[in-house]
Amino acid sequence: MREEVLASVLANPRVEPHLAIWGWQIATYLFLGGLSAGLLIFSGWVVATRRVGRAPFAANRAPLIGLIILSIGMGTLFLDLERKINVWRFYAYLNPTSPMSWGAWILIAVFPVFALLAVAGLPDGFPQLAGKLRELPVVGKSTMAPLIDMCGVIRSPLAVAGIGLGVALGIYTGVLLSGFNARPFWHSALLGPLFLVSGLSTGAALLVLGAGTAEERHLFSHIDLGLIVVEIALVFLFLIDMLNGDALQQHSVFLVLGGGATELFWIGFIGLGLAVPLTLETAIWQRSTALIAGVASVLVLVGGFLLRDVMVTTGQQTSWASFHNQFNASLLAKLRTDGENPNGRF
């Protein structure tokens, strides 16, 4: 027998649940970041390969929508910071060994390219908005009109840069987690490609939902089907990787193979987020209907969020250290009437 019990109290999330590392904010950010990366890559691809006519929504409207989505994601990332006043410190330093540092700098590079690509799409995508911008007092004629024209001219190089930066953004959201040797469930290099493919898949799903023409909807519906197949393959490779890993990884993967996150992972993510859309999109491979394609796309988006949520929540529960907490905080709290934190006394 070997039992390790805490004789004092450890200020650790598994002892004090409110000390959990990352919550919904990071899961949401990873989801929205991946989604906007997918939109940026597809938009860049459509523009760079001169498919603007075939996919008008992806080329003209998606960059602005993606930019808004990325901004919301960065907003939830900001909400997660415990010391928000120091947020500028991300841009006062580059730590080459820190994926989060890389991510901060990737975001600052993605943002202007995304914004300029969005401006380039305005005249065709949002003509009213473009018109209003051109007629703004003071800055309209002098700044906005030339800016919109200039973005139209440099649209192709912007699109190529967007593809590269989109791939970096998509992969980084996975590497952010897989870079932690201390959390066995995250420690697989497959998370980078998995999150990138998931981001592409959710991006394609949003393009299906917003598609301007039946041809565009069909195009991204087909692309999404391929991405879902790749994503399923990567998920199973990830599970195999964990099951063949060291004892810590084998133990951690059981959180999704019978443990607390099993239902969310298998019914939510694999079932509703991958298997059902795969079936629906296969069924409409020949003749696409907007309704079924739309349902499949919404499910892909839900699945994309569930993947991030399960990974973020489950991963931080796994650790090298494992103790039994001698003090059951929830039981002790029932005995106390003054509301004092029972762990606080030790």
DSSP string covering 161-204: HHHHHHHHHHHHHHHHHHT-TTSGGG--TTHHHHHHHHHHHHHH
Nearer to another protein, 3 or 291 (CB): 3
Displacement of CA 293 from its chain's centroid (Å): 22
Q: Is 11 helix (H, G, I), strand (E, B) or coil?
A: coil
> Which run of H or of E encompasses 308?
helix 290-315
Structure tokens at 210: 């917003």
Pairwise CA distance, residues 156 & 114, whole Å: 13
Q: How far is the CB of 172 from another protein (least distance, A)?
A: 12
Residue ranges in contact with another protein by CB under 8 A:
1-12, 14, 16, 19, 21-22, 80-84, 86-87, 89-90, 92-93, 95, 97-101, 103-104, 179-183, 186, 316, 319-321, 323, 326, 341, 343-344, 346
Q: How far is the CB of 27 from another protein (least distance, A)?
A: 14
Q: How far is the CB of 41 from another protein (least distance, A)?
A: 25
Nearer to another protein, 1 or 291 (CB): 1
Pairwise CA distance, residues 102 & 99, whole Å: 5
Dihedral (Cα; 256, 181, 37, 145), 10-degree rounding: 150
Are 38 and 199 contacting, i.e. CB atoms less than 8 angstroms apart? yes
Structure tokens at 303: 């699945």
Pairwise CA distance, residues 139 & 146, whole Å: 10
Q: Which residues have C-beta within 8 Å of that of residue 298, sequence separation ≥ 6?
A: 205, 209
Nearer to another protein, 84 or 287 (CB): 84
Q: How far is the CB of 255 from another protein (least distance, A)?
A: 16
Q: Which residues have C-beta within 8 Å of that of residue 151, sequence separation ≥ 6?
A: 116, 117, 119, 120, 158
Q: Which residues have C-beta within 8 Å of that of residue 1, sequence separation ≥ 6?
A: none
Pairwise CA distance, residues 264 & 303, whole Å: 10
Q: How far is the CB of 247 from another protein (least distance, A)?
A: 10
Q: How far is the CB of 70 from another protein (least distance, A)?
A: 18
Nearer to another protein, 26 or 41 (CB): 26
Nearer to another protein, 21 or 147 (CB): 21
Sign of CA dihedral 111, 116, 122, 125: negative
Nearer to another protein, 110 or 122 (CB): 110
Nearer to another protein, 18 or 287 (CB): 18
Nearer to another protein, 114 or 172 (CB): 172
Q: How far is the CB of 321 from another protein (least distance, A)?
A: 5
Structure tokens at 97: 């060994």
Q: How far is the CB of 19 from another protein (least distance, A)?
A: 6
Nearer to another protein, 89 or 141 (CB): 89
Q: How far is the CB of 105 from another protein (least distance, A)?
A: 9
